[in-house]
A = this chain, B = another copy of it.
Amino acid sequence: MHQGQTDQAAYILSDGWVCSYKLMRDGKRQIVDFQIPGDFLGLRSVLFHTADHNIEPITPVTASEVLASDLIDAFSSSPRLATAVLWAASRDEAMVVEHLVSIGRRSALERTAHFFLELSARLKLVGLGTVEGYACPLSQYMLADALGISAVHVNRVLRELREEGLLTFQKGKVTIHDFEKLVDVADFDRTYLDDYGPLLR
């Protein structure tokens, strides 16, 4: 899906990783978010009838298409679904906000730590991660575009995290060595993403 395309569908990702990003005229890229299994994607493009961002698979993916009309129609018969979708959209916004805070007010090291902690929390929620770590198919270039720093600097920061005994990211695997210290470095909110949403209450 690309910026400017009209009448896109939304999807629920059942397998694989996807990334959402924006491109600037000069070719710079800002990755806004990564989607992992269980995530809803393309909702904004459906509501605005035009995609305001790009979506690209990182790994081979499996996803279910959700037609705009079907989704909106379903709100009439089950208003509870409307609340659930609204909740999912808000959770999404909360993540973008946290990402914004990271880039705006955290140093490269703090923000990298925060990023891996957030991914960890999200992956654990869908059973794809443990306290020890998780599989992560991202390159240092993607990380750079997500964190708003250069790829060269990502490499230096990853080395520092490793040398400090906090976390290792190598060969597609993230290993968390010291969760407590990471939470401290990143100023990570432990309650963040704890809420399972309206359908489970």
Contact = CB atoms under 8 A, between A and B. Distances in A.
Interface of A: 22, 24-26, 28-30, 32, 43-44, 47-50, 52-53, 72, 75-76, 79, 82-83, 85-87, 89-90, 92-94, 96-101, 103-106, 147-148, 187, 189, 191-192, 195, 198
A169 B99 CA distance: 28
Given A86-B47, A93-B44, A94-B52, A101 B187 contact: no
A22 B79 contact: no
A192 B191 CA distance: 34
Contacts of A48: 90, 94, 195
A28 B103 CA distance: 13
B97 A32 contact: yes
A32 B82 contact: no
Given A100-B32, A101-B24, A105-B29, A72 B76 contact: no
Q: Which of A28, A83, A85 has the most CB of B within 10 A?
A: A83
A1 to B, nearest CB: 15
B195 A101 contact: no
Contact of A101 (B22, B76, B82): B22
Given A75-B82, A85-B86, A90-B48, A99 B101 contact: no
15 contacts: A24-B105, A25-B187, A32-B100, A44-B94, A47-B83, A47-B86, A48-B90, A72-B83, A75-B75, A76-B79, A79-B79, A86-B86, A93-B96, A96-B96, A105-B148
